Structure 1
C-alpha cells in the first residue's frame, strides 16, 4: 500500500497498539548533543512555493566538497527489502466516511475490530483500484523500476495461499522484483484501505497474513542466502510490529559486514507505542527516513528538547550507532517544503523541491514510499547524497500524479 503523504514510507501493520509498556530510555546516553556544533544550510537558494508538493530536485546545485565516488555495478539481489506485503484497496471518499470509521487524513493505522466491515463495504460502495503494495514493497518496486536491472531487488514477506497473494507476487515480479514469500494458510493475504479525501489519504491496514511472518523463514538457507547476497537493506518501520527479531538479524549482518542498513520511522503511532523496538533497531541504521510528523513525534516521545526539525535530524543522526565507520544519514521530508538531510550530526542541509501544481496531484498514496525507492535506486549505484535526493524527488513527484504507487512503463529519470 502507500505511505505517508509527506514521505516516509510507510504503510501498515497490525499488532495491538498498547501504550502500556513504554520503555524508560536514557536519552542523554543515546543522543549526541550537537546543536552548538551543527552547520545548518540550504543546498540551494530556491525557496519553497506554498502551492507545491512533492517535486524533483534536479535543479539542486549545492557546491559540495564531497568527492564523487565511482558508480557501483548493480547486479541481481543488490537491494534486499523485508516488510508487510499488502493489497491496497484504493478509493476516493468523502470526509464523512473517514469520520464513520474514526479515521484521520494523512494518517496510517492498523485495523481494529471496528474497521473490519470497511473492506467489503469499500468494494460494495465505491470504485476500487487494487494495487500491490505495502510500505517496503512500494519502495522496492520503485527502486527496481528506476534501476532497470532485472531482479536487482529482492522482497521478503508473508502472504496467504490465495488469489490476492498470487496477485501480489505477479505484480512485483512483472516489474522485475525477485520475491521470496513465506506462504501460509492460516490467514488470508493482508489488505490496506487507502482512502483518498481532498488530496489527502488515510491508510488503514489489516495485516492478516503479513502479521504472521516467521523468522524461521528468514533463517532458511535459501532465504538467508538472499540476505548474504545483498549489499543494501531496507525495512519500513511497520515491520517492527511483526518480526523484530528478523529486523535485528538483518541489521547485525549489515553492521558486521560493512553493508548499508536502512529503516523508516513510518508512522507516528510506531514512535509512540513501539518505541522500545525502534530504539533497539536504531543503532544498526545507516540511513533513516521519515516525514515531518513522524520526526516531531519521535522528538516529543524521546524528549529531545526541540521541535526544530533541523535539530531533530541532527540528534537522530547522532544517536548511538554500532557501525561507527560512517555517519548516519537522516532524511526528513516535509511535503511541499524542502527535504532535510543530516549527514552525521554536524552537517544538516535542506534540499528544495520542485513544485507540483495542486491540480496535477491525483493521489498522494505511496508518495513517501516512492521517495524512498527513488533514493535507494541511486544509492545502490554509488551516487552522491545530492543525486540520491534528486532520484527521490523525481519518484515522489511522479507518483503523486498517478493513481496509487504506480508508474509508467519506462523510467525517464537522469541524474
Structure 2
C-alpha cells in the first residue's frame, strides 16, 4: 500500500490550554460541561485566569488536527498523514509546528501575520470537559492557500496524493469554500471524503453550509447529542439515534462511487453504524470511573483510530474497534495525548 500522504485533514489548528478547574470557574464564565462553543467577549479574560490560577498544560489541538495526530500515531508510518490550517506567526504557532513535527504529521500551515495563533480553553471537572475556542488566526484561512501549486501538486504529500480526506464540522465556520473544493475533488477523483457533525451549534447555525457539503460526505461522524440536534433542526421528530444515523446515511449523494456510512458514538453506550439501510451496534471498551482522567479529545481520537484502519481498507468492524481503542487510551490521559506506541492488535 502506497502510504505517504494517504490521509489529509483540514481544520482549525488550536493550541489547547487544558486545566482541571472548579464549578465556580465554570459558573463565572457561564460554561456548561460537555459542550463546545466559540469564545465570546465575556470569555476572553478566562484564558489568562486559567494560566495564573490552575495547573495548565499546552497541547497542539483543534478537532481535525487531533484526529490526524491520532491516526498518524496508530499507523506508525512516517508522513502517512498531512494537515492544513492557519496559525499566527508567534510562539504558540512555533509550539504547534514543533508538536506536529514530533507527531510525524506533514503540516502545511498557512501563517497569518495579523492574528495570533488560535487557542482552545479546555476546562475539566470530574473527568468531563468543556471547550471554549478562540479561533483568532484559525479563522483567517483562505482557499487561495489551498489552490497554491505546492499544496495541490502531485509529488508532495498533499491533495493530489491523498486518497482520504477528513474535516471536522468546525471548519464550516471558517472556510466553507475550501471544504467544497476538497469535497468536489474527492468526488471527481473517486476518493473518500468524510466530515464530523462536531457540535450542536454547527448543526443549528451553520445548517445551510453543512447541507451544501453533506451530499459529498462518504462518512459522517458525530455523537448522540449532535445527531439529535441534527434531527431536530431538520424536523425529523425523532430522538432515536439509530433512526437518525440511518436517515443521515440515506441523504442524497453527489457522487455514486461510494455509499454513505454514518458513525455515531454515544459515550459508554454502543457505537451506532448505519449503512445499506441497516444499523449495527458495536460495544465500546468500558472504563472504570476511577481510571477516567479527561474526556477531551475522545471523539477526535475515535475518528483518528477509525481512519487509521479505513486507509488500510480494513472492514468497518476493525475501524470501529480501532476507534474505540484510541478513545479508551486518550480518556485515561490528560488532553489528546498518547503513549509512544499503540498497543492495538
TM-score normalised over the length of structure 2: 0.98
Alignment of 1:392 onto 2:323: yes
Q: Aligned partners of 1:239, 1:355: CA distance in 2, in Å?
A: 31
- Aligned partner of residue 279 in structure 2, secondary structure: strand
Q: Aligned partners of 1:272, 1:184: CA distance in 2, in Å?
A: 29
TM-score normalised over the length of structure 1: 0.81
Q: Aligned partners of 2:101, 2:307: CA distance in 1, in Å?
A: 18
Alignment of 1:163 onto 2:59: no
Which protein shows a greater Rg? 1
Structure 1 gap ranges (5+): 1-72
Residue correspondences, number: 341
Q: Aligned partners of 2:278, 2:256: CA distance in 1, in Å?
A: 16
Residue 326 of structure 1: CA displacement? Answer: 2.5
Residue 385 of structure 1: CA displacement? Answer: 0.2
Moved more, 330-339 or 318-327: 318-327
C-alpha offsets along residues 176-226 of structure 1, whole Å, 9 cap, x if unaligned? 100000011100000000000122111000000000001100010011121
1:188-207 equivalence runs, <5 A: 188-207=116-135
Alignment of 1:371 onto 2:269: no
- Aligned partner of residue 16 in structure 2, secondary structure: strand
- Aligned partner of residue 157 in structure 1, secondary structure: strand
Question: For the aligned residues, what is the CA RMSD?
Answer: 0.7
Structure 2 gap ranges (5+): none
Residue 323 of structure 1: CA displacement? Answer: 1.4
The correspondence for 2:62, drawn from 117, 134, 142, is 134
1:285 maps to which residue? 217
Q: Aligned partners of 1:129, 1:74: CA distance in 2, in Å?
A: 36
Alignment of 1:100 onto 2:28: yes
1:243 maps to which residue? 175
C-alpha offsets along residues 110-152 of structure 1, whole Å, 9 cap, x if unaligned? 0001101111111111110100010000000000000111010
- Aligned partner of residue 145 in structure 1, secondary structure: helix
Residue 74 of structure 1: CA displacement? Answer: 4.4
2:337 maps to which residue? 406
C-alpha offsets along residues 211-242 of structure 1, whole Å, 9 cap, x if unaligned? 00011000100111211110000000000000
Q: Aligned partners of 1:231, 1:354: CA distance in 2, in Å?
A: 30
Regions of 4+ moved over 4 Å: none
- Aligned partner of residue 181 in structure 1, secondary structure: strand
1:77 maps to which residue? 5
- Aligned partner of residue 348 in structure 1, secondary structure: strand
CA contact (8 A) 2:285 2:325 kept: no
- Aligned partner of residue 159 in structure 2, secondary structure: helix
Q: Aligned partners of 1:74, 1:129: CA distance in 2, in Å?
A: 36
Residue 410 of structure 1: CA displacement? Answer: 1.0
Alignment of 1:124 onto 2:52: yes
Q: Aligned partners of 1:382, 1:86: CA distance in 2, in Å?
A: 30
- Aligned partner of residue 413 in structure 1, secondary structure: coil
Q: Which has the higher contact order (CA 8 A, sep 6+)?
A: 1
Q: Aligned partners of 1:147, 1:182: CA distance in 2, in Å?
A: 26
Residue 306 of structure 1: CA displacement? Answer: 1.5
Residue 269 of structure 1: CA displacement? Answer: 0.4
Q: Aligned partners of 1:354, 1:195: CA distance in 2, in Å?
A: 25
Q: Aligned partners of 1:206, 1:326: CA distance in 2, in Å?
A: 36
1:45 maps to which residue? none
The correspondence for 2:265, drawn from 328, 333, 350, is 333
